[in-house]
Amino acid sequence: MINKINYVAIAGDSGGHIFPAIRYINELSQIKNPKNILFITNNVGSEYCDQINSKNVNLCIINSRNKFLFILNITKYLIPLFIRNRKLILVGFGGFITTPVLYISKFFNIINSNKIYIHEQNYILGLANKINYFIADKVFTSFPSRKLNKKEIYVGNFFNSLDKDTEELNHNYINILLLGGSGGSLELNNILLSKLKNLDKELLNKVKLSVQIPINYFKKYQENYLKIIKNINFFKFNNNLDYTNYDLIISRSGSGSLNDILYCTDSVYFVPHLNSRDGHQSLNLDFFRKHSNFLEKLEILDLKKKTNPFYINSLINPFSINKIICYLTR
């Protein structure tokens, strides 16, 4: 087990939790020794660890699919971690795995004076963060409309600062991108397929699609699309897309998608996941509708109008991660 750790980031279950944690780690490792940083995640998070810039960052991947192995691994990794290290700074970014890690850390506070923080990406606290809230020393929030108390610190929304894949798109076409969050969306794919079937061939030949398909349905939906349109690219997930390349984006409205896309363009049509926990995607989008005048344009879906303005919204703070790091390392 790793001996000397100062900073611990914990996240799991979805890209909405995992990517902010990775962004935090990448920024922190530029000013602190990566060997003193630990990322604790689960099976889902392990798929994205290649996006951590430094190979010296310590990884602890806990199997959360099997309850017995989960309890075993929690015992095996965390107890030695908290016994051997003092004054740890822990930041939970959401997902089920954060709760046992932070609560075990709190138990060991008797001997090692850990500091516990949580970061909430969405308009309302997720289930894990609702539980973690009680033991957190401070809570970093992304939306300013929450009634802040002394425990909460508003840092703003942040976006994906990773290098973007800059594909040279042919603007003889109307370039459309479909995103469904880190897991993809069957609903959005079904809606798009039904719309494409009703387009006349002349317009269809002017459209070029880039479509995210959920991994378990990849082959089936590839075949369905190719029956209708030939100018199409498929992908399972890509966190490094350059959104300024597209004439229209259709996307879910998780906090990460909202901020990454709106930082680059307003040529977007958001479709909230109505079954998202606590309805947070609808609440995220409602907030931006109320506080961002340009979002009125989202009600108009005009494929013929090509606009890709580079837009910086005052609510999207490119330095919010830096604000968190400055607070934790002061």
The confidence score (pLDDT) of residue 145 equals 62
**Residues 134 and 84 both lie in one domain:** yes
**Does residue 1 sit within a domain?**
no
**Residues 75 and 183 both lie in one domain:** no
Element at 9 (helix H, strand E)? strand 7-10
**Does residue 110 sit within a domain?**
yes
**Residues 151 and 261 both lie in one domain:** no
**DSSP symbol at 278:** G
**Does residue 138 sit within a domain?**
yes
The confidence score (pLDDT) of residue 148 equals 67
**Residues 270 and 323 both lie in one domain:** no
**Does residue 165 sit within a domain?**
no
The verdict on pTM exceeding 0.95 is no
**Residues 84 and 127 both lie in one domain:** yes
Task: Give the Cα separation of 50 and 52 in Å (integer).
Answer: 5
Q: How far does CA 118 lie from the centroid of its chain?
A: 15
- Contact status, residue 138 vs residue 307, Cβ threshold 8 Å: no
Beta strand extents in 94-247 (DSSP E only):
115-120, 138-141, 152-154, 174-178, 207-212, 232-235
**Residues 94 and 191 both lie in one domain:** no
**Residues 138 and 182 both lie in one domain:** no
**Does residue 245 sit within a domain?**
yes
- Count the domains in the chain: 2
Task: Give the Cα separation of 307 and 267 in Å (integer).
Answer: 7
Phi and psi angles of residue 251, each rounded to the nearest 5 degrees, phi first: -150, 155
Phi and psi angles of residue 111, each rounded to the nearest 5 degrees, phi first: -115, -20
The confidence score (pLDDT) of residue 327 equals 83
Q: What single letter denotes the amino acid at residue 150?
A: K
Question: Range of 92's domain?
Answer: 7-157+318-329
**Does residue 225 sit within a domain?**
yes
**Does residue 306 sit within a domain?**
no
Element at 91 (helix H, strand E)? strand 89-92
Q: Which residues of the chain are under the pLDDT cut of 50? A: 1, 161-163, 293-314
The confidence score (pLDDT) of residue 300 equals 36
**Residues 116 and 200 both lie in one domain:** no
**Residues 88 and 219 both lie in one domain:** no
**Residues 180 and 60 both lie in one domain:** no
The confidence score (pLDDT) of residue 21 equals 92
**Does residue 61 sit within a domain?**
yes
Task: Give the Cα separation of 116 and 6 in Å (integer).
Answer: 12
Q: How far does CA 53 lie from the centroid of its chain?
A: 17
> What are 174's two structure tokens?
């109307």
**Residues 275 and 188 both lie in one domain:** yes
Q: Which among 150, 152, 130, 128 has a CA at the least distance from the CA of 141?
A: 152
Q: In this structure, what CATH number is given to the domain that contains residue 60?
A: 3.40.50.2000
Task: Give the Cα separation of 301 and 140 in Å (integer).
Answer: 35
Query: Are β-strands 232-235 and 207-212 bridged in parallel, bridged antiparallel, or unpaired?
Result: parallel
**Residues 218 and 136 both lie in one domain:** no
- Contact status, residue 79 vs residue 107, Cβ threshold 8 Å: no
The confidence score (pLDDT) of residue 299 equals 38
Task: Give the Cα separation of 150 and 171 in Å (integer).
Answer: 51
